[in-house]
Chain A
């Protein structure tokens, strides 16, 4: 394919997508039905909510009503509002229906597609019960700015044509025929883009170092080993818009003089792997990967490598070892991968989201990008919202948006009348941000100054029922499990930190333990070989910094203020609420719940209680109290 053919293809593909792009053609008054497209979200969450049955129901009902010539069903990538799955959008009317089932599909076909009437009961509603018609009306969407996610939820990720319709591979065409490699790097430098994997290293600088590395054998690696628990941005981008990542890698290859790319994806993401492979096959078939791309002299090809479940492989030298089929253990740097990486050749590693940012930067210019968001780390950032929030899912906002805006405006605040306590960013390498810092703008530098990190974009909200010591212990357990074992500060240090935190949550820690904990944090931080160990103390240090009183309550008063640490709790039964159903007594492994003489009530013998919380978990009447 040549550049001209690509342009013609784009115009044809755009015409085919006109209903979705809002370029609505004049309707044919003689036609019995309006032409429409039904977009059904096929992101990971909606697939698990049973979107297959919904798709079949739509297809069947559309065929039954003779609408097949007028209505097209499209499976798109992730729309973003994962808690509302299965989500469907009817275009060009731009109506979003939420929690759609197979039965609802029939109603939508009858009422909306045939009767031209909106099905109000399937619309999402706001706090006061007012229905939102289109995504743009929902606070979840209208505060977002989508650059990386511009195609997510709009195009079919398994169709290269729909990506091309959205200016896909135009940046590649522009770079190959209008710019020399140096100019591409200049644009990326001018954009101010910083690595989205968490480190925040300026991408343009990385690219220019790589361009200067000796060739011709050099590798571009895309890090899709999104291991942070609570993060699913890369997963969604890979599943919803795989061609964008390929185009970003192609541009990196052209700019730095590399001809081979490796996409490292974790094995936990089978759907992403499948869609990426389809995308690679399509791009090869169209001549957008391989030799002489678009008729130019530039050749580039990409291969997928699947990980096998090791968090440390997100670290760049460990990742390279894993690509080479070895144990994913990091090695000391220097030499840096750009000096000696994959198979001993210069290798540049960028994150999925970083690559996904590049095509629009080349299309619109670096100056355009640098004006978005906060000046020191411009652009947008994708966050995966999870935890105790009304609306969870995937959001993209300009950098510098405050945590408050994300949690309360986009996320809708904390549900069930609970209070916001902390937000955790950066996974096991990050920290907890307390309510006092809700107005912190989210960018690399501001987050660092309050003891957390931007990380790759996982943002987990916790309410007052979360114990901060327990959260720190949870992350430390993760690091103990995932430490590769190569260097003792990390292997032994995290183990010891975990023991100390366990002692605190059991109420057996002394002041000495508390001091040791803080000292050891510094040792592990400064002496570990790679990022995993160096950042492992972050969750502990940030919770000590912001929630010191909680640690002290555990250690000195043997009390867990949030009612989480079971060993520190006393269980009892509220006699007024107890209905005498005996469920707790039957579930008690220590047989310490007994019937009160002469009454249909139960009581706990706390001298025998083993604090397992089984009674609390099973009680259907909230009659078991823990304090």
Chain B
């Protein structure tokens, strides 16, 4: 089953990938498709694995998945476009997900988001020019007891204040 750990691993390298490294990724993807017996209903699970491996859903990867699962490519793109978890553009090395759930919102999550936007000089949904950080908003990550929160990769940062934005970013420089 798909493990969602280390979602960000390998992302920075996807741009300048070396052949053997790339080959290992394709093998892993092919193994995942085998695991699900090429079943079309495993599409979402396979896409999760592909994004984990390649960092984002590259066109050649999408075409390969469509072929292997015997699905029209339009169907695959339809699913990718529908779910907010999937991305067709390269993400930064670290994805900062600022929680915009109710618990965080009433505790000033919009100020935290503005703090990140200002510190990184990008808007939510964008990636810094150096490819280090992507910034996005997410709906509730279920850590409302320690709101407001933001995730960097899979690390959760809790009880954020405006001043803590810089401290969080520093940890990933």
A interface residue numbers (CB < 8 A to B): 44-45, 47-49, 82-83, 85, 226-232, 235, 267-270, 273-274, 277, 303-311, 322-329, 343, 384-388, 392-394, 424, 427, 458, 460, 462, 466, 471, 474-475, 478, 481-482, 484, 617-618
Contact = CB atoms under 8 A, between A and B. Distances in A.
A274 B85 contact: no
Given A47-B156, A85-B146, A229-B101, 11 more contacts: A44-B143, A48-B146, A49-B158, A229-B100, A232-B144, A277-B1, A306-B1, A306-B44, A308-B47, A386-B144, A466-B106
4 smallest CB-CB distances across A and B, nearest first, come from A82-B145, A386-B144, A229-B101, A48-B156
A402 B103 CA distance: 21
27 contacts: A44-B143, A45-B145, A83-B145, A227-B140, A230-B144, A231-B144, A232-B140, A232-B143, A267-B85, A269-B142, A273-B2, A303-B1, A305-B45, A306-B4, A322-B44, A325-B79, A327-B79, A386-B144, A386-B147, A387-B106, A387-B144, A388-B107, A392-B147, A393-B145, A475-B102, A617-B111, A618-B162
B18 interface: no
Contact of B144 (A47, A323, A392): A392
B40 interface: yes
Nearest to A478: B139
A592 B121 CA distance: 21
A461 to B, nearest CB: 8
Given A229-B139, A268-B138, A325-B40, A308 B48 contact: yes
Main SS class of interface, A: mixed
B48 to A, nearest CB: 6
Contacts of B26: none
A22 to B, nearest CB: 27
Given A325-B42, A424-B102, A462-B106, A384 B47 contact: no
B172 interface: no
A49 to B, nearest CB: 6
A485 to B, nearest CB: 9
A478 B140 CA distance: 11
Contacts of B27: none
Scoring A267, A343, A617 by chain B CB atoms within 10 A of each residue's CB, the highest score goes to A267
Nearest to A322: B44
Contact of B142 (A235, A478, A484): A235
Given A386-B147, A387-B103, A427-B102, A268 B142 contact: yes
Given A270-B4, A617-B111, A45 B146 contact: yes
A46 to B, nearest CB: 9
A293 B78 CA distance: 40
Given A45-B146, A45-B158, A325-B41, A474 B105 contact: yes
B107 A387 contact: yes
B25 interface: no
A474 B103 CA distance: 12
A475 B105 CA distance: 10
Contacts of B155: 48
B82 A328 contact: yes
Nearest to A393: B145
A471 B107 CA distance: 12
A328 B145 CA distance: 29
Contacts of A310: 82-84
A150 to B, nearest CB: 20
B135 interface: no
A226 B144 CA distance: 13
Nearest to A462: B106
B121 to A, nearest CB: 13
B144 A384 contact: yes
A226 B142 contact: yes
Contacts of A270: 3-5, 154
B162 A44 contact: no
Contacts of A322: 44
A214 to B, nearest CB: 22
A129 B53 CA distance: 52
B85 A48 contact: no
Nearest to A239: B142
Nearest to A392: B145
B54 to A, nearest CB: 16
Interface string B129-150: 0000000001111111111010
A617 B78 CA distance: 41
Contacts of B83: 307-310, 328
Given A268-B138, A305-B44, A310-B84, A274 B3 contact: yes
A385 B101 contact: no
Given A305-B44, A306-B44, A309-B85, A83 B103 contact: no
